[in-house]
């Protein structure tokens, strides 16, 4: 199904308003259940244009649905993607306001920074590995501007792949001899173990996610630039985020990344 230009623009504006007002909207697929991935990307591009006009900058890309379990949930056999915006990137140890999000959850993942550009199609995993200069432990705050997370594939794609924010550890050299498939991770909330994972959960190899993004975006004329962040996908099921929470993800060889959550409206 291909939606009209007017429908694409109105849906992008609805998501833009939901983001700015913090009020979720109904799923687009409620009224148009036939909407597909390409329809979602058309809305995403329009929404991104509105945000760029406000002064936002794209500093990388995130991949989602990189695990088999998440692909089964959305009845797809391919990941999705969305831009990473400069205003959403934070350093480890940051405190975010719970009220800045609608229905946030937290995921731990491996994040790369490119040392040189990549443009598909035809980018191999070896070429992607050679282009990666730094690697970081990451916590993604996923958030949905769609009410109650009642999303189908087109809804989450349109909503910038449900990206809310990302928190990053200090970078480490990527090193061609490191097998990121074997990078283990332990994830805690308020000192309670809530998840474990390994790099292989992300498309079998997080570096393969970099190649997939380069090839997928390249087919649309988009280059992954030197300096771009590449978020490679969750290594476990998302964990709900609440005011007062503290999250820590500890990664083999990458160290730890920490996120604190506060509510500016809370009584102190």
pLDDT by residue (tens digit) across 223-252? 999 999 999 999 999 999 999 999 999 999
User: Does residue 154 fall inside a structural domain?
Assistant: yes
User: Does residue 205 fall inside a structural domain?
Assistant: yes
Angle between helices 5-21 and 37-53 (to 10 degrees): 60
Tally the domains of the chain. Answer: 1
Q: Span 166-190, mean pLDDT?
A: 95
Q: Is the pLDDT confidence value at 112 over 60?
A: yes
Domain that includes residue 236, residue range: 58-262
User: Within 13 A of 261's CA, how many CA atoms are on the CB side?
Assistant: 21
Phi, psi of 4 (to 5 degrees): -70, 160
- The answer to whether residues 64 and 151 touch, using CB atoms and an 8 Å cutoff, is no
User: Does residue 101 fall inside a structural domain?
Assistant: yes
**pLDDT at position 179:** 94
User: Does residue 141 fall inside a structural domain?
Assistant: yes
Q: Which residues contact residue 239 at a Cβ distance below 8 angstroms, ignoring those fewer than 6 apart?
A: 105, 106, 107, 187, 189, 194, 195, 247
Q: What share of the chain is helix, strand, coil (3-state, %, to 5)?
A: 35, 30, 35
User: Does residue 51 fall inside a structural domain?
Assistant: no
Confidence of residue 266 (pLDDT cuts 50, 70, 90): low
Q: Which residues contact residue 11 at a Cβ distance below 8 angstroms, ignoring those fewer than 6 apart?
A: 3, 28, 43, 46, 158
User: Does residue 52 fall inside a structural domain?
Assistant: no
Q: Is the pLDDT confidence value at 267 over 50?
A: no
- What's the whole-model pTM score? 0.94
């Amino acid at each position: 199904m291909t939606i009209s230009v007017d429908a694409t623009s109105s849906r992008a504006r609805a998501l833009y308003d939901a983001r700015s007002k913090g009020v979720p909207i109904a799923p687009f697929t409620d009224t148009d259940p036939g909407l597909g991935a390409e329809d979602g990307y058309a809305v995403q591009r329009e929404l991104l244009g509105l945000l760029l006009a406000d002064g936002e900058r794209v500093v990388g890309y995130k991949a989602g649905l990189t695990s088999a379990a998440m692909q089964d949930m959305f009845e797809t056999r391919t990941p999705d993607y969305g831009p990473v915006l400069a205003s959403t990137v934070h350093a480890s140890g940051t405190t975010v306001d719970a009220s800045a999000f609608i229905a946030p959850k937290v995921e731990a993942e491996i994040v790369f920074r490119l040392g040189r550009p990549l443009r598909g199609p035809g980018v191999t995993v070896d070429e992607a590995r050679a282009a990666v200069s730094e690697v970081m432990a990451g916590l993604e705050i996923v958030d949905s501007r769609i009410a109650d997370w009642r999303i189908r594939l087109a809804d989450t794609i349109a909503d910038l792949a449900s990206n809310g924010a990302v928190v990053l550890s200090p970078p480490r050299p990527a090193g061609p001899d490191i097998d990121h498939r074997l990078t283990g991770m332990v994830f805690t909330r308020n000192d309670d173990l809530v998840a474990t994972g390994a790099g292989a959960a992300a498309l079998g190899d997080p570096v393969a996610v970099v190649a997939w993004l380069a090839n997928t975006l390249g087919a649309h004329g988009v280059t992954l630039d030197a300096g771009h962040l590449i978020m490679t996908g969750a290594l476990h099921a998302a964990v709900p985020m609440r005011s007062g929470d503290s999250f820590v993800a500890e990664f083999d060889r990458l160290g730890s990344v920490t996120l604190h959550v506060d509510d500016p409206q809370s009584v102190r």
